[in-house]
Amino acid sequence: MTQSWIRNVTIFAVGLIVSTSAWAQNKESKMLPYTTVDHPTFVPASQASFLSDTDVVIGVSSGGVAKAYPGAELAQHGVVQDKMPDGPIAVTW
């Protein structure tokens, strides 16, 4: 084998690796589909042992009704569709 042939194969291999890695980096990451939470159930705050003091929640209050939606659930599902005394709401993260 000649040295120029080996050099050409090496250049082709390096070019292939670089172009393949650039293609992989440009490929969009596949997003998991969100599944909305419809009609969530609630527990009194004193019974919410699944939450810790450092967990993030989004609070909504209307017509004397207060609800807390855990940020982790919103991150997982994207949207919670619920009702308040004034009508339907959608909570999103």
pLDDT band at 72 (very low <50, low <70, confident <90, very high): confident
pLDDT digits (tens, 9 = 90+) for 1-10: 555 544 444 3
The answer to whether residues 25 and 35 belong to one domain is no
The answer to whether residues 91 and 66 belong to one domain is yes
The answer to whether residues 89 and 59 belong to one domain is yes
The answer to whether residues 77 and 36 belong to one domain is yes
The answer to whether residues 42 and 81 belong to one domain is yes
> Is the pTM value of this prediction over 0.85?
no
The answer to whether residues 63 and 35 belong to one domain is yes
Per-residue three-class SS string for 24-76: HHHCCCCCCCCCCEECCCCCCHHHCCCCCCCCCEEEEEECCEEEEEEHHHHHH
Specify the pLDDT at position 17: 42
pLDDT digits (tens, 9 = 90+) for 7-38: 444 344 434 444 444 444 555 656 667 788 99
How many structural domains comprise the chain?
2
- The mean pLDDT of the chain is 76
The answer to whether residues 44 and 71 belong to one domain is yes
State which residues form the domain around 90. 31-93
